[in-house]
Structure formats: C-alpha cells, structure tokens
Amino acid sequence: MKRTYVSTDAAPRAIGTYSQAVRVGDTVYLAGQIGLDPKSMELVALDVRTQAQQVFRNLRAVAEAAGAGLGDATKLTVFLTDLAHFPVVNEVMAEYFQPPYPARAAVGVAALPRGALVEVDAILVLGQA
C-alpha cells in the first residue's frame, strides 16, 4: 500500500527524525504530540491542563491535515510524567472526544521531550461507520 506523509504548519514541526503523521490506506498514524505552540515551538505552560489542551489541538491539526478528525481516532496512547495527572487529562480529553471514546492506554514515564508533562499519539481509521 502507498504511504502518504502528512505535515502541517498548524501543529509543531517534528523535533526529531519522524513525520507528524503517516497515512497507509485508510489508517493514519499520528506521532506523539506534546504541548508545544506551533509558532514559537515552546511549551504553552507548565501546568498539565494547559499542556493537554494544546496536545489535543495539535493532534486535531495533524488529523485535519490528513483529511480526518479526532472522531476518527480508534486508539490513543497517553504518556504522563506523573500518573496523578491522569484525571485532569481525562477531563481535557472529554472536551475533544465524544462517546464512544477510542481505546486508550496510559503510560507513566520518567521524562518527556522539552520537559513536557503529557504526550499523546493516535491511530485514526478513516471511513468508519
């Protein structure tokens, strides 16, 4: 199957050796996003709520660049430097997703790029019924 590489200025540019997203057929794999402002490439704030809101805005921008939306998400992985922040991320996620929610995993990690508190990646499937 043909691969299409997705890129948008509406989300932070890659800060490593990866693409913002790759589409293969009807599946889009979104790279992890942290709470970077796409213009300044700096973290939007030091609190987890504001960072999580920016994370989901960034994911939405990449999804839209791929011709999709967050409603096409089938799987998310949430990475947190402190699992005590999980309830806040749940609240923020509910602002961006409607039931039935995508499958999700949450992983506690020692650190994230740029000192971020939260990172989320996603898998989207287009044309879902």
Tell me the three state secondary structure of residue 17. coil
Residue 118, classified by CB atoms within 10 Å of its CB into exposed (0-12), middle (13-18) or buried (19+), is: buried
Which residue ranges form the domains of the chain, and what is each CATH number? 3-125 (3.30.1330.40)
Is the link from the previous residue into 113 a cis peptide, with omega within 30 of 0?
A: no
CA distance 109 to 129: 35
* pLDDT digit string, tens, across residues 58-98: 999 999 999 999 999 999 999 999 999 999 999 999 999 99
Looking up tokens 């490593």 gives: 16
Question: Taking the model in full, what pTM does it have?
Answer: 0.96
